[in-house]
Structure 1
């Protein structure tokens, strides 16, 4: 259902045929392209890869496409609103199917727990798994997570980059109480320890920190809101996740947006203290009234897009990067474990795993493994079986050191063997050949996303200030804007799409202000102050 409590992009004609160049065709760039093109702006999207989607991609393995990035859609309303603002409907372009089982979790052959979209089914499963008292604590946890989400949605998730004071005042006295109840100064691990007695449930919900590339031992307790996000709906897409960026590209193109794939941006150009366009890696120059950069902000801060824009955004220091990943895209036969669409296998040294990742900056010796069985449906699991080799995608958390470490075969093999042994202890065996497996390391992610070292989620969300330290849509340099997972409001396909919306709104406001000031220019060149000369948001 489309929410009504949000800022809509006007369907009135654009004030001019202003030219906007968008660098990057991930979720943020595509979202902005849809909205700006629908307003009549001349939009050109340049993308170094040969396809749209950013971190959404399909890897061919044994002749079959394996989704090898994000595997589900949450916060569906963000995409419903996007398509609505472009004059169409999400359901006219994609078939999304709700998941009944959110995930199957395993610690051993005899310790398995399913979480469901229906909280009462989850409570019943938890009662069988950990006792009635723990099921009651789970219900309290769900109420708390919903309260945290409500306190954060309007001022943070939907709004421009907030300040701590602005966020606390946004909802008045009740909003301040809700924010305080969210325990922003406590770590997620500590807060969960006060809510659950069973260490396995604490470990399960602590995993939400990794959705932001963070450690649960350093991430704020506000991340409990992710539990509410998942209970509000998790969807798979018929045909695979790549259908989403394909649909967004088609909608933007229908409104006149142009796409240049296999075309990288070499330099963002400036003149007179203002952004003027982009020089492409083939030497061509594209002029523009605004440039929206949707890569990781560290690429700007490290000078990869030119010295003139180095200071336009805050780069992420190597020690503050989020997690990377070691992923395996596979086609294999499985046996011994009742796989559902989404499965998580937990190691027995969770603290040690994150010590390896963030302190020692190495692949974990005893990793947790997420496994997406893509030929299984996301229904109730009954009768959900497949015969023969099936498509699998495994994610193991890894440090973002892809620009300094080569991740030799011996190291990755040790880690994957540890992961395979964990799954075997839980009952799952995999049979396949090396030719039926594609491994992606942090070094591979570092090459795909320059300036990141392989970090997938921008800066790690550690500490209560992390959310306020992300760059906003507007930079210090007039005409240059930012969007994407390293920008407010944060990582994840829906959040990245929302950052694209925020950037599109900022661009429209600034260009409108600029055009009006041009029309009332005074003799001698004085004009009304443009919004682009104001402070960065």
Structure 2
């Protein structure tokens, strides 16, 4: 519990540039910093790790480059907007290259499905896999488009500060069957079990169980169809570096290895932060890109919280965690796609083990990322870089990852060797792991949940922690734990919400001038 007394920090507003402090340098924090800089703020971004990125951190070892987290880039226009705010174009600094197929889905029986943005190719794949479901697939895609137009275009970048905001959109969401789950909406349109998996696994990429997540997330299908799936040459880290350069070009500052221990409050408003070193930094606004549960439970003293109490935080539902194995091979595997979904023998029951029972199952479904399929420079000549991701329960499972990590990695290795990567055991050149403990201890995620709050209907929009804190003034939240949710488009949109809720710097200066007068 935080009991440290809070000094009255001097106001920072001058006739020039008010000061904004951003906690965390994930994509949400970096995007927020760019938007605040464009609105006239002097911005300081504080990152506890030794380099920016948060979940998009970059590991380099033995000549290999590994993106720690996000690898699927959709909705590139959200990135282009940030560059445009700085008078530049995204292509000035980063090359986005389309990936096709978007995903290769391999079922446990060895059959596969190439999921792409090509309408004709997709129709042919559906007809090959489930010939009786072609018309149903087209209906599902039409439903996805309708949901996209409301859920993303109309609501993705707007705040839900009042319940009235939620009430206004409920009729439209009900009309679009937002009360259904992702899987339920797919079942309405298609009958083949495999095709139902093809149309629903994407919600796992934003931390949602397709059997519990609101069908609003079915918009992902149309989002990908319209804008494609891309990869940043040089790795996702090149986007992080590009955003940092934009911030510095605006006169902002990034400070790494700076751990925030407390958000300071004066007269009901955020007035700065205290670092673990004891240093205090005054600010006119504070934006937290840290995990929303961590922000309220660890950074804001209990006396300042009425809604997000410890009890409410602990009773909320959280996404699954992830086990990620990064490895490089001495040889290439040219037949492996850039993105592969490697499914196990169970789907519904495995997800029930992960999300509901909190059990570490012996079987698994995996996401295999081979970035060198698009950018060979991420590995030494003749080599491949990979990461394989396995959804696992968050830390409420009680799994002892200090002892279970290596046996679990070995099980993943054996599965990959039996399916996609023959001879893998003898080809590994470098290796490292990320477990739920790392999400908790390194990335400050409550219970090691990789995507924050689970995106069920009762934890979406107004029900999520608000972008403009409902607890204190001048505190704002961005990232996966606030509206609209996880995934690169979600966290970038959460920063876009700030344009509606954070006063323009000129407005703060004008207010300060009136007070002085």
1:251 aligns with 2:246: yes
Task: State the distance in 2 between where 1:402 and 1:259 align.
Answer: 34
Partner of 2:43: 43
Deviations, residues 372-415 of structure 1 (Å, cap 9, x unaligned): 11110299xxxxxx984310011100112179543143x33454
Task: State the distance in 2 between where 1:122 and 1:445 align.
Answer: 36
Instruction: Check whether the contact 2:161–2:468 (CA below 8 A) recurs between aligned residues.
Output: no
The 3 A distance-change label for structure 1 pair 312 and 299 is farther
Deviations, residues 11-65 of structure 1 (Å, cap 9, x unaligned): xxx9741111111111111112112223332211111111111111222343311
Partner of 2:437: 443
Partner of 1:349: 346
Partner of 2:490: 495
Task: State the distance in 2 between where 1:274 and 1:204 align.
Answer: 47
The 3 A distance-change label for structure 1 pair 30 and 469 is same
Instruction: Check whether the contact 2:28–2:478 (CA below 8 A) recurs between aligned residues.
Output: yes
Cα offset for 1:176? 4.6
The 3 A distance-change label for structure 1 pair 421 and 140 is farther
Deviations, residues 77-111 of structure 1 (Å, cap 9, x unaligned): 11111211222111111111112210111114640
Cα offset for 1:206? 2.1
DSSP-derived class of the 1:331 partner: strand
Instruction: Check whether the contact 1:470–1:486 (CA below 8 A) recurs between aligned residues.
Output: yes
Of 41-50 and 209-218, the range deviating more from structure 2: 209-218
* Residue number among 265, 283, 286 corresponding to 2:281 in the alignment: 286
The 3 A distance-change label for structure 1 pair 184 and 444 is same
Aligned-residue RMSD, C-alpha:
2.9
Instruction: Check whether the contact 1:265–1:305 (CA below 8 A) recurs between aligned residues.
Output: no
DSSP-derived class of the 2:102 partner: strand
Partner of 1:137: 136
1:50-199 equivalence runs, <5 A: 50-108=50-108, 110-131=110-131, 133-161=132-160, 166=165, 169=168, 176=171, 179-199=173-193
Cα offset for 1:452? 1.3
The 3 A distance-change label for structure 1 pair 479 and 169 is closer
The 3 A distance-change label for structure 1 pair 401 and 123 is same
DSSP-derived class of the 1:394 partner: strand
Task: State the distance in 2 between where 1:312 and 1:479 align.
Answer: 17
Deviations, residues 319-355 of structure 1 (Å, cap 9, x unaligned): 6111110000011257889211000111111122112
Of 104-113 and 221-230, the range deviating more from structure 2: 104-113
Partner of 2:18: 18
DSSP-derived class of the 1:320 partner: coil
Cα offset for 1:151? 1.8
* Residue number among 219, 234, 237 corresponding to 2:229 in the alignment: 234
Partner of 2:477: 482
Instruction: Check whether the contact 1:297–1:316 (CA below 8 A) recurs between aligned residues.
Output: no
Cα offset for 1:194? 2.1
Partner of 2:362: 365
DSSP-derived class of the 1:55 partner: helix
- Flag structure 1 segments of 5+ consecutive residues without an equivalent: 1-13, 380-385, 524-537
The 3 A distance-change label for structure 1 pair 106 and 163 is farther
* Residue number among 255, 271, 277 corresponding to 2:272 in the alignment: 277
TM-score normalised to structure 1 length: 0.85
Partner of 1:453: 447
Cα offset for 1:367? 0.9
How many residues were matched structurally?
Answer: 496
Instruction: Check whether the contact 2:358–2:397 (CA below 8 A) recurs between aligned residues.
Output: no
The 3 A distance-change label for structure 1 pair 192 and 437 is same
Deviations, residues 96-130 of structure 1 (Å, cap 9, x unaligned): 11122101111146401101121221111221222
The 3 A distance-change label for structure 1 pair 317 and 512 is farther
Task: State the distance in 2 between where 1:334 and 1:200 align.
Answer: 32
Instruction: Check whether the contact 2:332–2:382 (CA below 8 A) recurs between aligned residues.
Output: no
Instruction: Check whether the contact 1:158–1:498 (CA below 8 A) recurs between aligned residues.
Output: yes
Instruction: Check whether the contact 2:297–2:313 (CA below 8 A) recurs between aligned residues.
Output: no
Task: State the distance in 1 between where 2:512 and 2:333 align.
Answer: 70
Task: State the distance in 2 between where 1:147 and 1:85 align.
Answer: 29
Cα offset for 1:497? 1.7
The 3 A distance-change label for structure 1 pair 335 and 480 is closer
Task: State the distance in 2 between where 1:323 and 1:360 align.
Answer: 11
Partner of 2:7: none
DSSP-derived class of the 1:508 partner: coil
